[in-house]
């Protein structure tokens, strides 16, 4: 009988499988406590791809709704309305507001009296729907201000209502917005201006029980500032880093325990195997799931060993190949049209993700010096490699996994 693989490299992990991130959880819980007591806090969460931002946002939702117990001892379970929105490059201001209204209606519209209240309070959204096609094509700054004003007023009225319930309703602590993949925001969303204007308008309406949690790649900071230079100031910025070695191994243990709960035949894993998963994954939660998944998949005798981890990692179709297809192939093929630029990456890959001097790259490079200079500049600007700000003429790949993928699969013909 085949086993159920408990590791999930293709989706965020559930709150029950979460490990680490205590500092981030405590910051969020403190923000919830402040917001619940009328001192609204907003968080900006940034981190690289694969660092676990979406899983962290899922956990934050569970904390806000009171589905899990806070890690901070003196906080009781919270009871917020949690509104999830994922931003794409097609999300305009109109679409964004409509998505929020729909989510609020789903969360609160189960009670008839509240449903009637929501219909009246958010009636401006219905007007948007009627005029949808014309608004989307010609939304001016003035139109944006009107939409944001209507949105802020409706949100403040909703927040007051859920904090002071009528018969048959239960009081809520406030509203938490969990905005994921915000780095996809297009100029038409006016994302920085939206958050700055809405927070100020909510205060003017006497509403301070709303919290915005915005997550995305590091470039979201620039997009927020470009939309409104003061928008960054309304957020407490949390930069999500790699998990440490101990937390990484704990993630593996949690996955193994979950697998043994659903599988009739139990599976074990040795410490050396866990050490290799922790080293190869570099503390990136998605990579941990992928390396553990591949090792579990390769195992046939019920005990995952170092050989299972290495076989699952380095074979074609294994962990490094899968991670590379998802994270590295676009950087290596689509974003780079020059074979000479790819040669630079291949030379750097021999040094893994350690710093390498330009002079050392030049000694192995087949092109001329100007081409090398252009390549390093382009690769740095596209955030494919990093430039050492403290030492002139030093560069490195961002992750060891990228180097391994280049060495193993970089020369494979791109489909």
Q: Which residue in 337, 328, 290 sits closest to 406, CA to CA?
A: 328
Render pLDDT for 156-213 as a digit per residue (tens, 0 to 9). 999 988 888 776 678 899 999 999 999 999 998 999 999 999 999 999 999 999 999 9
Q: What is the CATH number of domain 245-315?
A: 1.10.8
Q: What are phi and psi of 403, to 5 degrees?
A: -65, -45
β-sheet bridge partners, residue 81 = 175
Question: What token pair was written down for 218?
Answer: 């590091």
Residue 144 CB partners (closer than 8 Å, separation 6+): 93, 190, 193
Render pLDDT for 244-270 as a digit per residue (tens, 0 to 9). 999 999 999 999 999 999 999 999 999
β-sheet bridge partners, residue 304 = 269
> DSSP secondary structure string, 13-31?
PPGGG----HHHHHHHHHH
pLDDT at residue 94 greater than cutoff 50: yes
Residue 235 CB partners (closer than 8 Å, separation 6+): 42, 43, 44, 195, 212, 214, 224
Residue 80 CB partners (closer than 8 Å, separation 6+): 32, 35, 36, 64, 65, 66, 172, 173, 174, 175, 176, 211
Q: Is 213 exposed, middle or buried (0-12, 13-18, 19+ CB in 10 A)?
A: buried
- What's the pTM? 0.84
Question: Which of the listed CATH numbers 1.10.10.10, 3.30.565.10, 3.10.20.30, 3.50.50.60 matches domain 338-409?
Answer: 1.10.10.10
The length of the chain in residues reads 415
DSSP letter, residue 131: T
Provide the CATH topology of domain 21-239. Rossmann fold (3.40.50)
Render pLDDT for 295-351 as a digit per residue (tens, 0 to 9). 999 999 999 999 999 999 999 999 999 998 888 888 788 778 788 999 999 999 999
β-sheet bridge partners, residue 216 = 46
Domain residue ranges of the chain, discontinuous segments joined by +: 21-239, 245-315, 338-409
pLDDT number for residue 129:
53
């Amino acid at each position: 009988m085949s086993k159920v693989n408990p590791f999930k490299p293709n989706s965020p992990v559930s709150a029950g499988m979460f490990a680490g991130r205590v500092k981030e959880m405590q910051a969020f819980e403190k923000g919830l406590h402040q917001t619940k007591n009328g001192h609204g806090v907003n968080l900006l969460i940034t981190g690289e791809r694969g660092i676990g931002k979406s899983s962290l946002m899922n956990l934050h939702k569970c904390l806000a709704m009171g589905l899990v117990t806070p890690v901070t001892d003196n906080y009781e379970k919270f009871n917020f309305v949690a509104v999830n929105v994922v931003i794409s490059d097609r999300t305009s201001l109109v679409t964004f507001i409509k998505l929020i209204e729909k989510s609020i209606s789903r969360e609160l519209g189960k009670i008839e009296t509240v449903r009637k209240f929501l219909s009246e309070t958010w009636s401006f959204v219905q007007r948007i729907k009627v005029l949808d096609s014309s608004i989307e094509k010609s939304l001016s700054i003035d139109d944006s201000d009107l939409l944001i004003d209507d949105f802020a007023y409706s949100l403040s009225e909703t927040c007051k209502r859920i904090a002071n319930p009528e018969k048959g309703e239960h009081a809520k602590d406030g509203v938490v917005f969990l905005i994921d993949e915000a780095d996809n925001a297009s100029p038409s969303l006016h994302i920085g201006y939206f958050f700055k204007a809405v927070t100020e308008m909510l205060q003017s309406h006497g509403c301070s029980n709303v919290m915005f949690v915005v997550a995305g790649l590091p470039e979201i900071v620039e997009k927020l500032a470009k939309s409104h230079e003061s928008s960054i100031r309304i957020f407490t910025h949390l930069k999500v880093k790699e998990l440490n070695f101990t937390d990484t191994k704990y993630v593996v243990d949690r996955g193994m325990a979950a697998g043994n709960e659903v599988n009739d035949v139990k599976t074990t894993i040795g410490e050396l195997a866990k050490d290799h998963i922790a080293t190869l994954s570099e503390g990136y939660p998605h990579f941990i799931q992928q390396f553990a998944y591949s090792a579990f998949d390769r195992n046939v005798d019920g005990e995952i060993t170092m050989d299972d981890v290495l076989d699952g990692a380095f074979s074609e179709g294994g962990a490094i190949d899968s991670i590379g297809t998802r994270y590295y192939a676009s950087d290596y093929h689509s974003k780079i049209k020059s074979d000479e630029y790819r040669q630079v990456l291949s030379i750097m890959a021999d040094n893994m993700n350690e710093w390498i001097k330009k002079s050392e790259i030049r000694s192995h490079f087949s092109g001329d010096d100007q081409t090398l200079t252009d390549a390093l500049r382009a690769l740095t600007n596209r955030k494919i490699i990093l430039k050492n700000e403290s030492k002139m003429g030093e560069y490195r790949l961002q992750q060891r996994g990228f180097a391994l993928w280049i060495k193993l699969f970089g020369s494979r013909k791109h489909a």
